[in-house]
């Protein structure tokens, strides 16, 4: 008996449906992976209308130390853009000044270590020796170059064991350009600029009307709409922390703006650059009583919070507990993925380090060179495990496909 054409068509459709069902997991995976090369985890994005997704304030802050500089040369536009893409809450930068008084983003007072200055023969005669924080240093100082000259240089990766492919591709950026990167982000991204080496800058750079480095610093923030106390409505629109190792600069800046400030704290052997106070003085309860009138937190070197002997962590100090008792946040620095920076206690696992500092020590934010790693850790260990559920579903689908 001849087969019905309708029966044949039905069988064909069923076969095609089974085929599509088998291919569905593969298509889904290819779609996710191919989405513009973006990271696998979901990124914040613009909400409906002109409003941006707000800054998260429910967990410790992910502070992109000089951008995502574990991947891309520090303090460059691509390093900051990458950090934003990876989920940073704040992008951090160091502010210095050019010879002609333009504020720039650069960490060192000399250009020698992270630019191609040595290749510029036209600047050979610019090498100088200055005293910086009580120590004589020789090199090509930022303050001896105009902005135009600084823009002619190209930045390179500081650490030789990190990716060198971007060396020579990116220029130094200004404070204004840095701010624009944050303001143009697809969500609310905070900024975390440092008043860097203010004593040295004020000695070497002069502005009209007797203005100081700190004045120009705060003027730039105000010009771009940064204002408000911590967690105020104005602050949440454009979040910013002002940081410095110089207590007098923070006290001075407090007279100019109500933006929250963070006192950075160096190693136990390093005195403050402006007041020459010891580590023990500025971490005493008496000093915390004084400084919390001007700052909302401290940013200590992490090895002063938990001492280290022969690369092993020792018993934690009471610094975090005492700071919290004085209503001060604690944002330690700096967290890096490489084994050379990880203490033996963490078995070469940066996620183990993040777990220790966030859940055992209980800090309120972390300066990290690897923004994506911290973002991943916080996402994977947060109460919102929708991403985990999606990954599990995809894994089950792929597993089912393999069995067919």
Residue 284 exposure: Cα atoms within 13 Å on the Cβ side: 9
Overall residue count recorded for the chain in this entry: 404
pLDDT for 287 equals 98
Q: Strand 297-300 and strand 261-265: pairing?
A: parallel
Domain formed by 62-109+153-381, architecture: Alpha-Beta Barrel (3.20)
Which residues, including other chains, have CB under 8 Å from residue 361's CB and lie 6 or more apart? 305, 306, 316, 320
Tens-place pLDDT, residues 337-350: 999 999 999 999 99
Q: Identify the CA nearest to 305 among candidates 365, 247, 382, 244.
A: 365
Tens-place pLDDT, residues 269-327: 999 999 999 999 999 999 999 999 999 999 999 999 999 999 999 999 999 999 999 99
Q: Across-strand partners of 219?
A: none
pTM for this prediction: 0.84
Tens-place pLDDT, residues 136-188: 999 999 999 999 999 999 999 999 999 999 999 999 999 999 999 999 999 99
> For the chain, what are the domain ranges?
62-109+153-381
pLDDT for 332 equals 98
Per-residue pLDDT averaged across 224-231, rounded?
A: 98
Highest mean pLDDT among 11-25, 29-43, 129-143: 129-143
Share of the chain above pLDDT 90, in %: 81
Q: Identify the CA nearest to 92 among candidates 248, 272, 241, 258.
A: 241
């Amino acid at each position: 008996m001849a087969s019905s054409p309708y029966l044949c068509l039905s069988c064909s459709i069923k076969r095609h449906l089974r085929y599509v069902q088998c291919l569905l997991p593969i298509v889904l995976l290819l779609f996710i992976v191919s989405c513009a090369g973006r990271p696998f985890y979901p990124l914040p994005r613009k909400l409906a209308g002109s409003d941006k997704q707000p800054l998260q304030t429910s967990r410790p802050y992910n502070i992109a130390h000089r951008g995502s500089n574990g991947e891309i040369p520090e303090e460059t536009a691509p390093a900051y853009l990458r950090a934003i893409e990876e989920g940073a809450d704040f992008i951090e930068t160091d502010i210095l000044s050019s010879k002609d008084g333009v504020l720039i983003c650069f960490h060192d007072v000399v250009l020698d270590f992270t630019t191609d200055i040595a290749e510029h023969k036209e600047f050979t005669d610019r090498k100088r020796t200055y005293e910086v924080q009580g120590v004589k240093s020789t090199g090509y100082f930022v303050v001896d170059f105009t902005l135009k000259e600084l823009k002619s240089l190209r930045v390179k990766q500081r650490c030789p064991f990190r990716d060198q492919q971007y060396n020579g591709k990116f220029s130094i950026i200004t404070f204004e350009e840095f701010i624009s990167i944050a303001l143009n982000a697809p969500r609310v991204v905070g900024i975390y600029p440092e008043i860097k080496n203010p004593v040295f800058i004020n000695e070497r750079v002069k502005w009209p009307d007797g203005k100081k480095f700190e004045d120009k610093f705060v003027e730039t923030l105000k010009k771009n709409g940064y204002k408000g106390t911590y967690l105020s409505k104005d602050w949440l629109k454009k979040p910013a922390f002002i940081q410095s190792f110089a207590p007098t600069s923070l006290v001075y800046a407090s007279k100019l703006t109500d933006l929250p400030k963070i006192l950075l704290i160096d190693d136990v052997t390093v005195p403050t650059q402006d007041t020459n106070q010891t580590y023990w003085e500025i971490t005493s309860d008496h000093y915390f009583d004084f400084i919390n009138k001007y700052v909302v937190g401290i940013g200590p070197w992490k090895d002063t919070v938990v001492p280290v002997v022969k690369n092993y962590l020792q018993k934690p100090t009471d610094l975090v507990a005492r700071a919290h008792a004085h209503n001060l946040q604690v944002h330690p620095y700096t967290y890096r993925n490489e084994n050379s920076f990880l203490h033996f206690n963490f078995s070469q696992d940066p996620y183990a380090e993040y777990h220790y500092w966030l859940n055992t020590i209980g800090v309120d934010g972390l300066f990290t060179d690897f923004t994506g790693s911290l973002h991943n850790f916080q996402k994977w260990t947060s109460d919102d495990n929708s991403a985990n559920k999606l990954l599990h579903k995809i894994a089950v689908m792929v597993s089912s496909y393999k069995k067919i």
